[in-house]
Amino acid sequence: MNMKTGQKEGRVAGQPDAPLKPSLQTSVFEPRSPIGPLSAQPVLAAIPRPALPEGCQPITEFKEEDIFVVGYPKSGNTWVQCLLAGAIYGVDLELAPDSQVQELIPDVHGKRFYRRHSSPVVFKYHGLPVPEYKRVVYLFRDGRDVMVSYWHHLQAANASEIDFLKVVQTGEGLFPCKWEDHVRQWLANPYESRMLFVRYEDLQRDPVRELRLILNFAGVERDLTVLRRAAEKASFAVMQAREKRFGWENSQWPKDKTFIHRGAVGSYADEMPLPVQEAFLMETSNLLGELGYLARSASRAAAWLIRRGPSAAADSEAAPWSNWGAGTLLVSGALLQGVKNVLRRYCLRPLTIGL
C-alpha cells in the first residue's frame, strides 16, 4: 500500500514506498524516455554499488524462482506483505515492528540490499512490468476504492488539501501512472511472466483461501492453522493497533496521520464525490466492467429494485445509489445495462428502469 521506483534512501511524501531524500546513488529502476501514455516502463540500470553488508546482496539481483507481489498503490500491497510475513516466517504482527516485515518481504522501492532468508524470496513492487520478473502475483482492487485510499494518502503525506478531481483527471501525484494504465499493462503481461491474479475483495472475503493460493503459486507449503493465524494477526484491527504501537520503518511518514485507512470494500460510495466518480468512470468504465466491478454495482442496484418493486426505479430520493455511486448509474451505460440484465435474469416480469 505504499512508491517511486528507485532504491534511494528514505521515501517521498505523497508517493508510498518512494525515496524521500535525494541520494548520491543512481536509481535502480529508471524510466525510459516517454514514447506514449503507457511508455514509462522501468528498466534495470547499472548503479555504482557500495560495499555490501555481510550476508546481503543487491536488490537488483534475484533468482528466477523468486516471487514479486505487484499491485498499484493502495491495492492491498502492504496487507499482503504482512500476511506473507506471518504465513511464511511465522511473524506475529502484534509483536513485530515494520522493520522485521521489510527484512523478510523486501520492498523493491525501499531497499538497496536484502538477505535471502529462504527460497523463493518474496518481494513487494508497485511499478510497471519488467522482463526480469518471471513470477508475479498481481493484486487488483476496484479502482474507485483505490483512488479514495490514494487521495487520503496524498492528503496525509503532503499535509495539505489535495484536489481529488484534479488527481483523477490529470494523474498528478500518482505513481507510477494512472490506475487503469497500470492494470492494463500487467493484464497484457508483455514479458510472458507466470502470473497469479488476486482480487482484493476476495482477500477481504476469505484471506485464508487467497493466502493458500499465493503460497501454492510460490511453491511454499504451510499448514492450514498457520494460514489462519497469519490472517488473524493481519486483520485490519491488528494492523491499525500495530501502527499506533510501532509506527512505520519510514520515519518520514507523519506520526499524527494513519497509514492504514478503512480498507473497506465500496468505500468510494460515501467518500468519492459524484463529480469525481463521473470523471473516473469516463476513463475507466470499460476496464471496471471487464474486471467485474460494474456488474457488482449493477447487482446491488438490481437487488434493491427487486426488493422495492417496479415503482422504486423512479424514486431517486430513496434509491441506494443516491449515496453510493449515482455517478456510476448516470455515466456508465455499461452499468445501466448490467442492472437491466440482472433484472431480466432474476425477475419474473420485466421492470421499467427510469434512470
What is the DSSP track for 206-264? Answer: -HHHHHHHHHHHHT----HHHHHHHHHHTSHHHHHHHHHHH--S-TTS-TTS-SS----
pLDDT at 347: 38
Between CA 292 and CA 310 the distance in angstroms is: 26
Q: Do 104 and 36 meet the contact criterion of CB atoms below 8 Å apart?
A: no
Q: Looking at residue 97, what is its pLDDT?
A: 85
Beta-carbon contacts of residue 6 (< 8 Å; ≥ 6 apart): 18, 19, 27, 28, 29, 30, 109
Give 140's strand partners: 199
Per the CB < 8 A criterion, the answer to whether 69 and 47 are in contact is no
Give pLDDT, residue 9.
38
CA distance 208 to 213: 9
pTM of this structure = 0.71
The three-state (H, E, C) secondary structure of the chain, written as one string: CCCCCCCCCECCCCCCCCCECCCCCCCCEEECCCCCCCCCCEEECCCCCCCCCCCCEECCCCCCCCEEEEECCCCCHHHHHHHHHHHHHCCCCCCCCHHHHHHHCCECCCCCEECCCCCCCEEEECCCCCCCCCEEEEEECCHHHHHHHHHHHHHHHHCCCCCHHHHHHHCCCCCCCCHHHHHHHHHHCCCCCEEEEEEHHHHHHCHHHHHHHHHHHHCCCCCHHHHHHHHHHCCHHHHHHHHHHHCCCCCCCCCCCCCCCCCCCCCHHHHCCHHHHHHHHHHHHHHHHHCCHHHHHHHHHHHHHHHHCHHHHHCCCCCHHHCCCHHHHHHCHHHHHHHHHHHHHHCCCCCCCCC
Please give the pLDDT value at position 96: 86
| d(C-alpha 81, C-alpha 101), whole Å | 7
pLDDT recorded at residue 139 = 97
The β-bridge partners of 197 are 138
242, amino acid identity: R
- Roughly how many angstroms between the first and final C-alpha of the chain, as a whole number? 36
Q: What confidence score (pLDDT) does residue 1 get? A: 42
Count of Cβ atoms closer than 10 Å to residue 204 Cβ: 16
Strand-pair partners of 107:
124
Residue with cell 501525484: 173
CA nearest to 87, candidates 239, 237, 242, 214? 214
Chunked mean pLDDT (size 10), the chain, 355 residues: 39 37 30 36 51 90 97 95 96 88 93 94 97 97 95 84 95 96 97 97 96 97 96 84 63 56 82 93 93 73 51 47 40 48 41 36
Residues 157 and 254: their CA atoms lie apart, in Å, by: 7
CATH class of 29-246: alpha beta
Q: Is 205 helix (H, G, I), strand (E, B) or coil?
A: helix
| 211/87 Cα distance (integer angstroms) | 8
Please state the domain extents for the chain. Answer: 29-246, 268-346
